[in-house]
């Protein structure tokens, strides 16, 4: 065991050294290098606190703006893949001694593995056919390795109430700090940050509800305000649609308290009407009002038409390649043949995108993973359960519903955070099963 621990420590040190060496030839601010190196060294805690690996991943993957050079570097050098490999090795080597790493149940795990294998098969077929292409780095097929690792770890580790609260705080704080670093001007029309903020909002509510100390509840309250601020500043339409889907899910879960809902609903509508910027609502108005002349009117109308073109192109790809698609990550390199002038653009729809890239079997497996994860979260969210895991099931299920709603208008089929939430749903359902046995 000492030899194994030594080998793992060397792997972590090598990982930290790798990221420092990789930044030496790039103009990356030293503060980011320090944060990444510190995060990598944090993996030394995985043998004793394996759930820490999930917080490290979230910090690395979602702590910097989506279009930044810093994230491009992390993707270019495959640092996130290496980090997942080290974290998985640390959990496998030492985590089996921990109660929270007991064997897991449920057929969702098999679906995730099958989905990952199918992506690998479609990738291999594309290479065998001799297609020479370089997939978009931020949508590279190797992201599905990260998907498998974080799903596995989340399904094993996010069971305990205290650990769940810590992770909820870590992931929400990461995104709020990222939004603060971006500032208003950079956040405006930033779809990625606003959509992540909406997806994580139920997780912030979850943390607030399960926190036992007033100061921790206050901390989560601040984080929730930060997520709401980021959403309102960005003014992304898909994010608001996701927020509505989440609100409907939460209302459904608390429908038994209909008297309270009857009182709260008018207040919520009034607050939304007052706080929602006019410019935000105008972004929707431009869809049906051709006379709208607000600042982003032309952009709002053009993006609607552009999405229709991209969706039609994706559906044609599916028609031409129904079984194996055009290859994972390959949509933007093929779309120009179906929609001239739209080269390098993504599908802007999870379901069309995954079907175009991995065929109809890939779409079926993708849907099966998330629908089954939603049902798993629902199993933990039953009204007869105690506050934990019930609140956990409600929060995770609402986040997954929001993710799928947002996915109708954005390319997020390989969002690793979504698969982490799916793994969390499995963990909650497993706890529910274990408590009843």
What's the mean pLDDT when you consider all of the chain? 87
Q: What is the pLDDT of residue 257?
A: 65
Q: What is the pLDDT of residue 433?
A: 54
Cα–Cα dist 371/104, whole Å: 19
Q: What is the pLDDT of residue 107?
A: 76
pLDDT one-digit tens code per residue, 127-164? 888 766 667 777 888 899 999 999 999 998 898 899 89
What does the domain layout of the chain look like in residue ranges?
1-102, 106-160+247-436
Q: What is the pLDDT of residue 261?
A: 62
The pLDDT tens digits along the chain (437 residues) read 677 778 889 999 999 998 888 887 777 888 888 888 898 999 998 888 888 899 999 998 998 888 777 787 777 768 899 999 999 888 877 765 444 433 444 678 889 999 999 999 999 998 888 766 667 777 888 899 999 999 999 998 898 899 899 999 999 999 999 999 899 889 999 999 999 999 999 999 999 999 989 999 999 999 999 999 999 999 999 999 999 999 999 988 877 665 666 666 666 666 666 667 778 888 888 888 888 888 888 898 999 999 999 999 999 999 999 999 999 989 998 999 999 989 889 999 999 999 999 999 999 999 999 999 999 999 888 877 677 889 999 999 999 999 999 999 999 999 999 999 999 999 998 776 554 54
Q: What is the pLDDT of residue 437?
A: 43
pLDDT one-digit tens code per residue, 24-48? 777 788 888 888 889 899 999 888 8
Q: What is the pLDDT of residue 106?
A: 60
Cα–Cα dist 120/43, whole Å: 28
Please count the other Cβ atoms lying within 10 Å of the Cβ belonging to residue 161: 16
């Amino acid at each position: 065991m000492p030899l194994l621990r030594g080998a793992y420590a060397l792997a972590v040190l090598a990982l930290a050294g790798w990221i420092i060496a990789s930044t030496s030839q790039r103009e990356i601010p030293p503060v980011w290098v320090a944060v990444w190196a510190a995060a990598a060294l944090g993996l030394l805690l995985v043998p004793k606190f394996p759930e820490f690996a999930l917080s490290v991943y979230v910090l690395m993957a979602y702590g910097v703006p989506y279009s930044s050079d810093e994230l491009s570097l992390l993707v270019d050098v495959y640092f996130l893949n290496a980090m997942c490999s080290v974290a998985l090795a640390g959990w496998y080597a030492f985590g089996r001694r921990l109660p929270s790493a007991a064997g897991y149940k449920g057929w969702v795990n098999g679906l995730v593995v099958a989905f990952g294998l199918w992506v690998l098969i479609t990738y291999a077929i594309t290479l065998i056919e001799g297609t020479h292409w370089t997939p978009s780095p931020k949508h590279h097929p190797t992201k599905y390795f990260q998907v498998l690792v974080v799903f596995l770890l989340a399904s094993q580790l996010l069971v305990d109430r205290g650990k769940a609260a810590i992770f909820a705080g870590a992931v929400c704080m990461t995104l709020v700090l990222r939004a603060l670093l971006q500032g208003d001007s950079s956040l405006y029309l930033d779809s990625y940050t606003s959509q992540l903020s909406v997806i994580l909002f139920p997780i912030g509510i979850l943390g607030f509800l399960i926190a036992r100390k007033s100061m921790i509840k206050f901390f989560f309250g601040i984080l929730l305000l930060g997520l709401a601020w980021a959403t309102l500043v960005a003014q992304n339409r898909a994010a608001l649609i996701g927020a509505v889907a989440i609100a409907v899910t939460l209302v459904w879960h608390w429908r038994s308290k209909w008297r309270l809902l009857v009182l709260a609903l008018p207040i919520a509508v009034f607050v939304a009407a007052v706080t929602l910027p006019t410019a935000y609502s105008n972004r929707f108005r431009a869809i049906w009002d051709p006379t709208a002349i607000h600042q982003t009117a032309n952009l709002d109308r053009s993006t609607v038409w552009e999405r229709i073109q991209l969706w039609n192109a994706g559906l044609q790809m599916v028609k031409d390649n129904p079984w194996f698609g055009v290859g994972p990550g390959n949509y933007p390199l093929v779309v120009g043949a179906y929609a001239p002038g739209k080269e390098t653009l993504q599908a802007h729809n999870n379901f069309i995108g995954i079907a175009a890239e991995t065929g109809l079997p890939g779409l079926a497996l993708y849907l099966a993973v998330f629908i089954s994860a939603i049902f798993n979260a629902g199993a933990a969210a039953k009204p007869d359960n105690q506050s934990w895991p019930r609140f956990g099931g409600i929060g995770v299920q609402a986040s997954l519903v929001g993710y799928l709603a947002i996915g109708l208008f954005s390319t997020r089929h390989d969002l690793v955070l979504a698969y982490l939430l799916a793994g969390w749903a499995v963990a909650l359902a497993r706890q529910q099963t274990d408590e009843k046995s």
